[in-house]
């Protein structure tokens, strides 16, 4: 199977993390979560990590150039031989331009951009309904889709369930405003470049996975022709 270089795009709460794990396993891709990558580089004390930490220590955003340098270094590693799945970057058209130029310089290019489409109301329904155990944040419930046996109480350890601050409805809607303002323009950006693949993010998880896998298998086959 040929190399697949992908971007995963969609609003917060679209289920990108769930599908990312499945896509990564299906095609043996290197999953690059820019937040995880940045934290790892800082923790390991790499040269790029030290550069990033200087900005972070001053409370500033890490410049796009540093993030792109980390990405290009990462995709040059042996475990990216079958391709990569980029999650969390780019977020703006300027970042997309810079990423495209960096990939071209590295002798590669994007294969496709996987867009998971979910309405704002559905995002709010998903995120504002989440409840998390105060004792173990890995114990997560949903008031509608996966409620605990006793309201407000964790099934596993009996601790209290809370709604995280970033799951409050007003916070979720602010995050959506930022997405529509900064990131949603990438939909047209990549559609104009014939890279965009649209999927209904409201479809059942397993059905959505099957559709994405079949479509990407076709993209991979076309690249080999």
Domain boundaries, given as residue ranges, for the chain:
4-118+171-224
CA distance 75 to 154: 41
| Active-site option among 16, 51, 74, 126 | 16
pLDDT > 70 in the chain, percent: 99
| Active-site option among 22, 91, 135, 173 | 91
Question: Smallest Cα–Cα separation from 180: which of 188, 168, 190?
Answer: 188
pLDDT reading at 127 higher than 50: yes
| Active-site option among 53, 175, 211, 213 | 175
pLDDT > 90 in the chain, percent: 68
51 is an active site residue: no
Which letter does DSSP use for residue 78 in this model? Answer: G
User: What mean pLDDT is reported for the chain?
Assistant: 92
**Domain 4-118+171-224 class in CATH:** alpha beta
Q: Which pair of structure tokens corresponds to residue 46?
A: 């790499």
User: How high is the pLDDT of residue 58?
Assistant: 84
| Active-site option among 24, 51, 125, 130 | 130
User: How high is the pLDDT of residue 1?
Assistant: 43
Q: Output the pTM of the full model.
A: 0.86
User: How high is the pLDDT of residue 78?
Assistant: 87
130 is an active site residue: yes
135 is an active site residue: no
pLDDT reading at 149 higher than 80: yes
198 is an active site residue: no
pLDDT in tens, 51-105: 888 888 887 778 888 888 888 888 888 888 899 999 889 989 999 999 999 999 9
164 is an active site residue: yes
Q: What is the mean pLDDT of residues 142-152?
A: 95
Check the CA dihedral 42-186-172-31 and report its sign: negative
């Amino acid at each position: 199977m040929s190399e697949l270089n992908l971007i995963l795009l969609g609003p917060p709460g679209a289920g990108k993390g769930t599908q990312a794990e499945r896509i990564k396993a299906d095609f043996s891709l290197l999953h690059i979560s820019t937040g995880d990558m940045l934290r790892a580089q800082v923790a390991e004390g790499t040269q790029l990590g030290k550069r990033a930490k200087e900005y972070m220590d001053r409370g500033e955003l890490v410049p796009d150039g540093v993030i792109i340098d980390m990405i290009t270094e990462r995709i040059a590693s042996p475990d990216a031989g079958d391709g990569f799945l980029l999650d969390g970057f780019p977020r703006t058209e300027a970042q997309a331009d810079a990423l495209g130029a960096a990939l071209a310089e590295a002798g590669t290019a994007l294969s496709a951009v996987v867009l998971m489409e979910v309405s704002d109301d559905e995002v709010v329904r998903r995120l504002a309904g989440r409840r998390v155990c105060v004792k173990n944040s890995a114990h997560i419930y949903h008031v509608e889709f996966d409620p605990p046996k006793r309201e407000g109480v964790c099934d596993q350890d009996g601790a209290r369930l809370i709604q995280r601050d970033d799951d409050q409805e007003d916070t979720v809607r602010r995050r959506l405003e930022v997405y529509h303002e900064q990131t949603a323009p990438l939909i047209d950006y990549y559609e104009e470049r014939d890279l965009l693949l649209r999927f209904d993010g409201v479809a059942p998880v397993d059905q959505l996975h099957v559709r994405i896998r079949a479509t990407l298998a076709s993209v991979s086959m076309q690249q080999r022709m």
